Structure 1
Amino acid sequence: MNCEFSIKTFDELTSVDLYHILKARSQVFVVEQNCAYQDMDEVDFDCLHLIAHQNQALVGYCRIIGPEFNPKKSLEHPSYSMPAIGRVLVLSDYRGHGLARQLMTHAIKHCRKKYGKKPIIISAQTYLLSFYQSLGFIPEGDYYLEDNIEHVVMVLPILKKVKVKKPRAVSSEGSGFVTKLLSFLLLVLGLMFIAGLVYLMT
């Protein structure tokens, strides 16, 4: 599915942008999931809002929370601040075309570009576990209920580059010794061959 992606701070959102974002979030997280909860929170003010448009209509959305505003912590690294991705949604008419993967890929790339090589944390609904694992996220800890829906903390780690050790070059001294030894053995074999020929001829 071909979409246009835009990313804006809260202050850059127009009133029309904000209306469609909140409408989509309410439609997916409140109505579809039959979950009465307070979707609008104070975190929105400090987020980046990633919007997927098709023919100028909002079809997908997520928000990116910077490390300095992110209350979520990794269980393995509780003192480490990292960016988070949340409120990930694709409207029902546009699902099944790979848009969620495109949306997450854009969000991950933007996190890397803006916040550097830091792990990224999410609070994933467990029915989407395999989807997020396919993007490289690793579950941490036990499942838990949030607004009566089962979730799990997942972290996308930074893959460290493994340095391949180059084989040691043989020192010139070592190679010189081997060359001399081989030359000596060849000389001995040559002399023995000649001695053998002389013996046969006499």
Structure 2
Amino acid sequence: MTCNFSIKTFDELTTVDLYHILKARSQVFVVEQNCPYQDMDELDFDCLHLIAHQNEALVGYCRIIPPEFNQLKSNLSVADPAIKSNHTSMPAIGRVLVLSEHRGDGLARQMMTQAIAHCRKKYGKKRPIIISAQTYLLSFYESLGFVPEGDYYLEDGIEHVKMVLYVIKKTKVKKESANTASTTTKILSFLLFIMAALFVLGLLYLMI
């Protein structure tokens, strides 16, 4: 599925943008999930809003909560010990949705990939990202690298689990030094010389 993605602050959203965002959130999180809850909150003012458009129509959406406004915290129970304590303050991705008629085409993955890349660029490549995931989507978020943390819990009557995306450190492979390679070559050459000498001596012995 080919879509155009845009990321805007709340002040950059047009009234038309805001109308379609709130309509989509109401359609998915309130009507579809049969969950009457207060969707519009004070966080929207401080979030970045990622919108997926197809032919100028909103088909997907999520919001990025900056670290300083994110109340969802990780206890780093499954974190790499090398992660510094100041990374307990991390961005969050939430209100992830794809309209029903556009599901099954990989749009959710494209959108999350865009959101993760933006978090890495804006808040640092080594800073973890946290989400509150509905448990039926656990395998989807795990496929993106998120790790479940803690027990399941109810949020507005729906089962959720906290998940964190950590940065996987690349393991450096030490290259064999030139001296080591040279020494190995000399040893092999010496062994080959001994074997050749023994072979010649064997032939001479048989000829005598």
Residue among 164, 167, 179 paired with 1:158: 167
CA distance in 2 between partners of 1:172 and 1:2 (Å): 51
Using the alignment, how far apart are the partners of 1:15 and 1:184 within structure 2? 84
Q: Distance in 1 between matches of 2:22 and 2:44?
A: 11
Cα pair distance change 1:42/1:178, threshold 3 Å: same
Matches for 1:1-202 after TM superposition, within 5 Å: 1-76=1-76, 80-117=88-125, 118-170=127-179, 178=187, 200=208
Higher Cα radius of gyration: 1
How many angstroms apart in 2 are the aligned matches of 1:8 and 1:192? Answer: 84
4+ residue runs over 2 A deviation? 167-197
Q: In structure 2, what is the Cα distance between the partners aligned to 1:45 and 1:140? A: 28
Structure 1 residue identity aligned to 2:101: D
CA–CA separation in structure 2 for the residues paired with 1:21 and 1:54? 14
Over the aligned positions, Cα root-mean-square deviation in angstroms equals 2.8
Residue ranges of structure 2 left out of the alignment (5+ in a row): 78-84
- Count the aligned residue pairs: 199
Task: Give identity over the alignment, percent.
Answer: 71
TM-score, reference length from structure 2: 0.83
SS of residue matched to 1:141 = strand
Q: How far is 1:67 from its partner? A: 1.3
Structure 1 segments unaligned to the other structure (5+ residues): none
Q: Which amino acid aligns with 2:67?
A: P
Q: Residue 151 and residue 181 in structure 1: after superposition, are their counterparts in 2 closer, same or farther (change >3 A)?
A: closer
TM-score normalised according to structure 1 size: 0.85
Q: C-alpha distance in 2, partners of 1:115/1:139?
A: 22
